[in-house]
Structure 1
Amino acid sequence: MSDHTPATDEKAPRKTAGKSDSNGIAKSMAKSGRSRSREFALQGLYQFLVGKNEAADIDVFTRDLSGFHKSDSVHYDALLYGCVEQRELLDALIVPLLDRKIEEISPIEHAVMWMGAYEFKHCIDVPWRVVLNEYIELAKSFGGTDGHKYVNAVLNGLAPQLRPHEVQADRAKGIVRS
């Protein structure tokens, strides 16, 4: 080997591109405890809607799942038990915004809408746009091909009803269109 020939490839290792949102802004790869709790609550509500299982049984099963310890268990409890206990009220909020019977909505989208409506109503510490984004992302990850669009339309319709001051303030700032 001659002195001017490198013994190894001196190129820097290639970096893989991280995930980014629609604006090209890098997203954190780690999920927050609340995001994880929403995923676990969605799984539980799916079991409730499809399997007709009791919330307490679902809770025991879910807490044994891998990764549950990384979730916000208080938020999970609020979502699972709150949505089950208030399902009639949540459906009453959702139904007027649907273009079909609630029985025709997939159980995933139905559960996502319950959770979004529940958070709008009861988790006022979470900004409404964060609630909307979290549930659109859940619907993208777990729902049907275009289910997230339906969830977006319904939750966007609920936001002004359940968080009128927040939505109005964002509209006044030009953050959200009227």
Structure 2
Amino acid sequence: MSRASGTQKSSPAARRKARHFAVQALYQWHMAGAALAQIEAEFRTDNDMSKVDVEYFHDILHGVPREKSLLDGKIQPLLDRRMDEMTPVELAIVRLGAYEMVHRIDVPYKVVINEAIELAKTFGATDGHKFINGVLDKLAQRERGVEIRGPRN
């Protein structure tokens, strides 16, 4: 994704806000089954997006549903329950984290996990962040093993 240099929109805070809105939008998509373009238009109209990385929001919002089967296939073996037993909020956060882990290698795995934990603390149940952390940590081992082990000297 290209960005105009010098813009604030690709800052960590702008990405955090993009994830914040993306979780809400993915939840809405899951619960209501509304068209992604409609959901995106509503979010862009109803929210102040001036400090949001809107390209990142768009990428997540459209990427997670597009890659849902692949992501669910990577997530399911890591769970201690069936996916349909997860809350819609947990599912949205885990899918978002899995999408970033698999498709956004420009984002360090630790950032993916930490951001997902923060989203779970904001939107999820009391201890939901522990569950999210466990799943994404296991996924990181599978998807980002080279990054986790670091450079060899």
Matched, 1:39 2:20: yes
CA contact (8 A) 1:40 1:68 kept: no
Structure 2 residue runs of 5 or longer lacking an equivalent are 1-11
Note the alpha carbon deviations across 1:132-156, whole angstroms, 9 max, x for none: 1000000011111111111001000
The one-letter amino acid paired with 2:15 is R
Aligned pair partner of 1:57 in 26, 29, 38: 38
TM-score normalised to structure 2 length: 0.88
SS of 1:68's equivalent in the other structure is coil
User: Larger deviation: 152-161 or 60-69?
Assistant: 60-69
Structure 1: 4+ residue segments shifted above 4 A: none
Tell me the distance in 2 between the aligned counterparts of 1:60 and 1:167: 37
For residue 51 of structure 1, report the CA deviation from its aligned partner. Answer: 1.0
CA shift for structure 1 position 67: 2.3
What are structure 1's unaligned runs of at least 5 residues? 1-30, 173-178
Q: Report how many aligned residue pairs link the two structures.
A: 143
TM norm structure 1: 0.76
Q: Deviations over 1:99-139 (max 9, x none)?
A: 11111101111011111111111111111101110000000
Superposed CA deviations along residues 18-50 of structure 1, whole A, max 9, x for unmatched, are: xxxxxxxxxxxxx71000000111011000111
Q: Does 1:48 align with 2:29?
A: yes
Q: Which amino acid aligns with 1:71?
A: V
The one of 114, 121, 125 aligned to 2:106: 125
User: Is 1:116 equivalent to 2:115 in the alignment?
Assistant: no
For residue 137 of structure 1, the aligned residue among 118, 133, 138 is 118
1:85 is aligned to 2:63: no
Higher relative contact order (CA 8 A, sep 6+): 2
Residue from 146, 164, 168 that aligns with 2:145: 164
Question: 1:128 is matched by which residue type in structure 2?
Answer: Y
**Superposition CA RMSD, Å:** 1.8
Paired amino acid for 1:137: E
